[in-house]
Structure 1
């Protein structure tokens, strides 16, 4: 694998290497996800779903349709149709706080895992975990700043979206009335109006998603800059690092989102179909959800090292060559030291043999003298 990651990678190469790496280091990657996100997912299951009345094992009397309905409805604990206090506290306080505190270290763990693989070093869970909390305070600070920037951007995009939708409604309403007047068939004119409205609406949604993703991607590589390189101005450097690569990264994220969605829906349908809404089914669903989470985190790490190769001259081939040369020097020095130690032992053994030979001779000469 390392031989093929010595030059900039295309979209297919990034995806292929990501799945290879996850398959090769499946246990370690999953343990990190389980460590950082497992408590949150399990707590979410018990808070947002009515697990208090759910049976431990699947109930033969429960149908798949009723289980799916209950799953989609979520928790039934509400007052006058509103979520209860515990659910509100979890969604608006515990969830953002937990993600803010855990997110930097969780991403850093995947970054250091990928870096160890690229540099040919053995992946040790304890070592990677320790590195994940290196410069934790700085990553936490910039994660908070990143969140504020994204909230601001989302607010601006939301405002633009509302204005755009108002214009779309106005324009399509005028266009629709014109079509109804011009068309001999009112039904055809109405259908044309609906099609035009849907096209404009979908294009607006696509533009909004691309605009939001633009800032998420351009600022989104501040974490590896801090955690891996201990760089300065991480947000600014992330902006420069991703310049000219937005659409490539965006395409990779779209492909990963499609893969993740297909896997998620398939797992949900399978678990609900087999285990219904039982407690054991919910726990299995949590574990399976954690299993597919590295589909996003590992490509994110690989993309960072690929961007360094493309933009900052940090060629992985040079890194690899330097590491290999260092290893060779260490091996040569170790071999030389062993050779010197062997020579010293041989000389000491020869000297001892000589002393053993000289002593009988001295004893014989002493007897002759007597």
Structure 2
């Protein structure tokens, strides 16, 4: 086994290992995502171009550079026939992404597991392994989506009721609504974090739907894991925002801007997927170590 996977890691060590793997195995990981998501983004670009969006630079009307670019982003949100085409294209792209992205993430998980076991692998071999788990992933993802929806919708109703009570006592109602919002947000984050490692269980351990195993693995690590999710989200948001503002200043809402943004999205997705794999395997290492300790303790009591 690779030395970096042998012992449980702390918060900073997981981040360091994630970036190290992403750098050293960038070619393989990025190739996996390109194979699955590249054609989807190409279809999106073709739909945008066919709907009348300029390829190199799309700006609106205005007396100066700032007004032209601002107008282009405002106009992109207005409804017309081209907006309908783009809406249909967005739905098509979203459906393909929902089907293909989990397979790409599974392939990256298999690749990281091979690295952990110091085994040779190819992009083709891990993709083949990922497709072998397609249907268990598909049904588990649907079930997780339903669980997440229920977890989110119930607190949302409570928050609305809390803010609605402001009509009776405005100050108390607003304070109660704010406290309820943050409390529900933290609670939702913790629950989703506890169940989110079902995917690694379905892919690597072939346990479907994997929610009970995820709950056991994440025990006593929920806050740290949620913190890691937040860090990866912040990193992805910073990169995406920087790309949008930097290239959007020159390209407006052109097809080229969306292509560049999509490439940046693949990069941030790669980091998140690798981070998820490192987190899951770290949980397995901790869990296996605990199981070993229990066996030793049982042996000593005999």
1:257 to 217, 222, 233: 233
**2:289 is paired with a residue of what secondary structure?**
coil
Structure 1: segments with no counterpart, 5+ residues = 176-196, 316-370
Per-residue CA distance 1:258-312 (angstroms, 9 max, x = gap): 1111111111111113434443333223222222221211111111011111123
1:108/1:314 Cα in 2 relative to 1: closer, same or farther (>3 Å)?
A: farther
> For residues 170 and 295 of structure 1, what CA distance do their matches in structure 2 show?
48
**1:293 is paired with a residue of what secondary structure?**
helix
**1:151 is paired with a residue of what secondary structure?**
helix
Worse overlay, 164-173 or 153-162: 164-173
1:248 is aligned to: 224
Structure 2: segments with no counterpart, 5+ residues = 292-302
**2:120 is paired with a residue of what secondary structure?**
coil
| Contact 1:100 1:144 (8 Å CA) reproduced | no
| Contact 1:28 1:125 (8 Å CA) reproduced | yes
2:288 to 297, 303, 312: 312
| Contact 2:29 2:270 (8 Å CA) reproduced | yes
**1:292 is paired with a residue of what secondary structure?**
helix
1:7 is aligned to: 7
1:166/1:228 Cα in 2 relative to 1: closer, same or farther (>3 Å)?
A: same
TM-score, normalised with respect to structure 1 = 0.68
Compute the displacement of 1:6 (Å). Answer: 1.5
TM-score, normalised with respect to structure 2 = 0.81
**1:149 is paired with a residue of what secondary structure?**
helix
**1:122 is paired with a residue of what secondary structure?**
coil
**1:120 is paired with a residue of what secondary structure?**
coil
1:283/1:101 Cα in 2 relative to 1: closer, same or farther (>3 Å)?
A: closer
Higher Cα radius of gyration: 1
> For residues 274 and 132 of structure 2, what CA distance do their matches in structure 1 show?
19
2:106 to 81, 105, 108: 108
| Contact 1:50 1:75 (8 Å CA) reproduced | no
Aligned length in residues? 288
1:147 is aligned to: 145
> For residues 202 and 310 of structure 1, what CA distance do their matches in structure 2 show?
37
1:67 is aligned to: 69
Compute the displacement of 1:74 (Å). Answer: 3.0
Compute the displacement of 1:228 (Å). Answer: 0.8
Per-residue CA distance 1:237-259 (angstroms, 9 max, x = gap): 11222122211111111111111
Give me the CA root mean square deviation: 3.1
| Contact 1:113 1:123 (8 Å CA) reproduced | yes
1:229 to 205, 215, 237: 205
